[in-house]
Structure 1
Amino acid sequence: MATLGLALALGSATMTSASADYYSGGMPSRSWNVRAVGINDTWVGFLDTGRSHWNNSGAGTSLGRSTSAASTFTAARYDQSWFGLYSPSGIRGINRTFAIKVNARTLSEQSGSNMTAWSISTTTHELGHGLSLADNPNTSASSLMKHSRNRTTVQRPQSYDVSEVERIY
């Protein structure tokens, strides 16, 4: 009976940490560096703004940019229709890295006169995956991680996103 109780307790703990808003492809901590690859100063600025939005959000993050970082960020005109793509590799806690790609073509075609705002929103969203946040969280609250967000006005982590990062780490 004690074993069943322990199993149920462990199962409940696992279910809580793996809620619908948690993304297992994230980094093992709230502090990591990313390397800008093959992008111009405008896109480096979008990356730096996204990092700054997270670092100033109150979520306890320290996202740096380093020329020696294993994780990468790039932007180009890809043929696919996605805005951004986060691809983790390695094992969380051992050798996890990621590659972020932002699709300048889709952003340009769909943002109208709001290309800068949409690019910053997309960049900050993709960095959120590095902080273990999933797409489309199960909440009615405003969230940077929702695909349905207004990319013109939601460029920073929302209070819901900050609380999720704090809960995860």
Structure 2
Amino acid sequence: MPRSLAIAIAAILVAVVGATPAAAHWYGAGMTQPNFTIRPYSYNSSWQGPMDRSLSNWNATPTPAYISKSSGSSSSVVATSYSDTWYGLYSSYGSYFQIKLNSRTISGDASNFSNFVTSVFVHELGHGLSLAHNDLTSIMNHGRNRNTLTTPQAHDNSDVNSYY
């Protein structure tokens, strides 16, 4: 096949199929749509406000993400003390998920409790939006400062927009 024909075919495939951004970080167990629900949760005010802010922080992004509460949702969040060392854990079950927030580690390491809870929950919801961990300035960076970084960053928004 002539080189010019191969280049033309490659250009058409990129235009039709779309190019995968080189910097995209995708998680294989996210939701199939960027709009999903989570079962309503009820915690004391030190947890409820930061958790609600987490949903608002994603909903305010320039992405198609919209996360709301619905009593009919199979997806859920549980905040309680676990003996493990993680702060948050996202588990996918196909069409729904469960997020666990570890009150023991969060309380033990937070200098700004409200921001820490928000950061952890926004991060775990990012997995629901098909985002994987990365090493950038990102809510999905495992080493981010959870006391200060509470909103999805430009890279997170770009990945959501690229995926959906």
Same fold (TM over 0.5): yes
2:52 to 48, 53, 74: 48
Tell me which of 16, 20, 26 is aligned to 1:22.
Answer: 26
* Mapped pair 1:108 → 2:107: yes
CA distance in 2, matches of 1:15, 1:101: 34
What percent of counterpart residues are identical? 39
Rounded to whole Å, the distance in 1 between the matches of 2:79 and 2:119 is 14
Work out the CA distance in 1 between the residues paired with 2:147 and 2:46: 18
Letter of the aligned partner of 2:67 in structure 1? Answer: L
Cα deviation, residue 14, structure 1: 10
| Deviation of the 1:16 alpha carbon | 3.4
Distance 1:14-1:89 versus aligned 2 partners, 3 A rule: farther
- Give the distance between the partners of 1:14 and 1:105, measured in 2 at CA: 44
| 1:153 correspondence with 2:153 | no
**Deviation digits for residues 26-71 of structure 1 (CA, Å, limit 9, x no counterpart):** 0001101001456444433222111100000111211101122110
Compute the displacement of 1:114 (Å): 1.1
Question: Which structure 2 segments of 5+ residues have no match?
Answer: 2-8
TM-score normalized by the length of structure 1:
0.80
Q: Which has the larger radius of gyration?
A: 2
The answer on whether the counterparts of 1:36 and 1:44 sit within 8 Å (CA) in structure 2 is: no
3-state SS, counterpart of residue 16 of structure 1: coil
CA separation in 2, counterparts of 1:146 and 1:15?
A: 24
Query: 2:51·2:117 contact (CA, 8 Å) conserved in 1?
Result: no
| Count of residues paired in the alignment | 154
The match for 2:161 is: 166
Q: Which residue of 1 aligns with 2:68?
A: 64
How far residue 118 of structure 1 moved from its aligned partner, in angstroms, is: 0.6
- 2:5 match: none
Counterpart AA for 1:78: Y
CA RMSD of the aligned region, Å? 2.5
CA–CA separation in structure 1 for the residues paired with 2:43 and 2:96: 19
Aligned CA distance change for structure 1 residues 72 and 153 (closer, same or farther; 3 Å) = same
- Regions of 4+ moved over 4 Å: 17-20
